[in-house]
Structure 1
């Protein structure tokens, strides 16, 4: 009798184990989560059910910055400045599964169509600035130009590397995904390439000394918004000929930019003035200014669109804002030199989202 009961229990356990595993995996895959890179602490995982730091993924003293998720949220790809590579993280276990060498100082990461596009800067030499040190330009006109590594995510292999301008920063795609557009701070240009081949298409010259940083496509795909950090403006480019159709003044040091999930509002973070600005998403008329933290560069809306999460590096925190009025609700701390932030399920933001 005891043998029979024991056998039955083992059979039941064997039957339930796969089901429990699949249930746990499914719960993970559907849970609302935010991932934020901290340049000195790793990758913070934020539980969006209670807006708390659930855990930190250790990637070593790598200086993680840019990050992007694959389509189903099972893998997170992080650019590591100190080690010059791209790490692949299993989001369920929090373990680094693979790494691929990129080059010196990889920074911005965008995943699209089974590939990761990673900017890196052979001419840059510094690690993240120490507390108390001012932010500085990453390279100069005499250094080698930046490059964009195109990584096949199935093999996690760099298939080609494309020379860009100096200090390539923001990355965006055309609505059909055939073109990639990047901002070049050091050259004051926007470069356009074929996404799959990296073949240059054209370069758009902007105001000298303006330092273009953020770039975001409009919800209808007909325009691109580019923030000009040193000019304290953003410009609107026509989606076809890339001519400037509008120039709008901002507060000091605009960087992160995105439309909200509805497309009705445009959000710009003026990091040097510690201000989040809201503009009309159609007319680009200024609507409001909201005080935020220090060195706030990147942000993401939550998947349900009710909150905005703002990574503020010099405040060592993520600010949580009510997306209806953009007032700060709370802060999530213990994230020193917070750099970038994305969510799963994906939502609109300065790094990911469309």
Structure 2
């Protein structure tokens, strides 16, 4: 009897896992979070968030919760089994980029009166957490080019003359902000070192990359990029030896040595490179040249240019599907997700009704410009 019961439980668990459909979550700045059925490649539903202006998003390690940064100043915590908002975490003005790492969420935001209350920060001094930096980056009208250092088409969130951005660190067990760390101006990208000990952020307004200790938030070092280059995306290479940083206003990406952070190579791109990721096999590097409406493909070892694929307007972030067969690009000014074949990088479809699509992640997790498997 005991064996039969155990077998039934195991079979039931297997059936449950098999029936869990792969989905993608897409933030739409004026329409909540779209849920895409990846088997049918259709918009399954939309999770309403009012007029919150959702941008950055990230899933917890077990996929049970989706964290979404809202322009209204908080983080929506969504139960992925019900697609319901179960709580909201107060962050501060214009929270934007979200990354989950080792039990904590790192959320970039602008300082100000709407930031985490002083008592919350005081209570954090003894809390264990990881650290980072950041400042918003989702510029709804960032489509046209601009002069270096002027932010080409960015919205009012960006103010290089204002106080620096900060990163709120949220304990995922308590859903409380346990620490907030000052960063550079207009922090755009967030990445972690392979050993998890350091957090790297790109500061668009400062033209720098900053490195922090994840345990203490202590600034380790700051690396200067070319003046007016506006670094945005950052991604670690599959072999953990390098970082790639996209420079939006000088139309390049740089390859940094992971140990020394010295520039190893500078590569030209088309206009407005932002989102960057390596493919699941580690053979190609992909760069979203948003202002040129192009996805660019480079060799992941030599960084030689391989191919270009035309896409939609303001395609900032993208993700492979969990099976690696398709690539999904959130194209904000096309109000859609473009679906590309992952072998040919040619567009095979579009999923509409996603106004000002900003970012995209999948469950199960896959390689992309926001998350990395």
Deviation at 1:92, TM superposition (A): 1.1
Deviation at 1:195, TM superposition (A): 1.2
Range that drifts further, 290-299 or 19-28: 19-28
Q: TM-score if structure 2 supplies the norm length? A: 0.85
The answer (yes or no) to whether the contact 1:117–1:150 under 8 Å persists in 2 is yes
2:212 corresponds to 1:193: yes
Deviation at 1:25, TM superposition (A): 6.1
Query: 1:91, 1:136 → 2: CA distance?
Result: 32
Deviation at 1:136, TM superposition (A): 1.7
Query: 1:127, 1:296 → 2: CA distance?
Result: 11
Deviation at 1:198, TM superposition (A): 1.2
2:296 corresponds to 1:306: no
2:269 corresponds to 1:250: yes
> 1:42 — aligned with what?
32
Deviation at 1:199, TM superposition (A): 1.2
Q: What do residues 161-218 of structure 1 show as CA deviations (whole Å, max 9, x unaligned)?
A: 0100000010000001111000000000000001122111111011000000000000
Flag the 1:221–1:248 CA change in 2: closer, same or farther, 3 A: same
Deviation at 1:139, TM superposition (A): 2.1
2:319 corresponds to 1:293: no
2:156 corresponds to 1:167: no
- Mind listing any 5+ residue stretches in structure 2 that lack a counterpart? 1-8, 113-134, 145-151
Deviation at 1:122, TM superposition (A): 3.0
- Match of 2:246, SS? strand
> 1:317 — aligned with what?
336
1:1-354 superposed matches below 5 A: 26=17, 30-81=20-71, 83-122=72-111, 129=140, 135-137=153-155, 138-354=157-373
- Match of 2:319, SS? strand
Query: 1:265, 1:299 → 2: CA distance?
Result: 14
The answer (yes or no) to whether the contact 1:41–1:58 under 8 Å persists in 2 is yes
Query: 1:120, 1:40 → 2: CA distance?
Result: 19
> 1:6 — aligned with what?
none
Query: 2:81, 2:345 → 1: CA distance?
Result: 31
Flag the 1:208–1:74 CA change in 2: closer, same or farther, 3 A: same
Query: 1:142, 1:310 → 2: CA distance?
Result: 32
The answer (yes or no) to whether the contact 1:25–1:92 under 8 Å persists in 2 is no
Query: 1:126, 1:311 → 2: CA distance?
Result: 15
> 1:4 — aligned with what?
none
Flag the 1:125–1:322 CA change in 2: closer, same or farther, 3 A: closer
Larger Rg: 1
The answer (yes or no) to whether the contact 2:136–2:187 under 8 Å persists in 1 is no
Q: What RMSD over aligned residues (CA atoms) do the two structures have, in Å?
A: 2.4
Q: What do residues 207-248 of structure 1 show as CA deviations (whole Å, max 9, x unaligned)?
A: 000000000000011000000000100000000010000000
Flag the 1:25–1:70 CA change in 2: closer, same or farther, 3 A: farther
The answer (yes or no) to whether the contact 2:185–2:205 under 8 Å persists in 1 is yes
The answer (yes or no) to whether the contact 1:39–1:128 under 8 Å persists in 2 is no
Query: 2:26, 2:104 → 1: CA distance?
Result: 21
Flag the 1:117–1:25 CA change in 2: closer, same or farther, 3 A: farther
- Mind listing any 5+ residue stretches in structure 1 that lack a counterpart? 1-17
- Match of 1:204, SS? strand
Number of residue pairs the alignment of both structures matches: 335
Flag the 1:174–1:19 CA change in 2: closer, same or farther, 3 A: closer
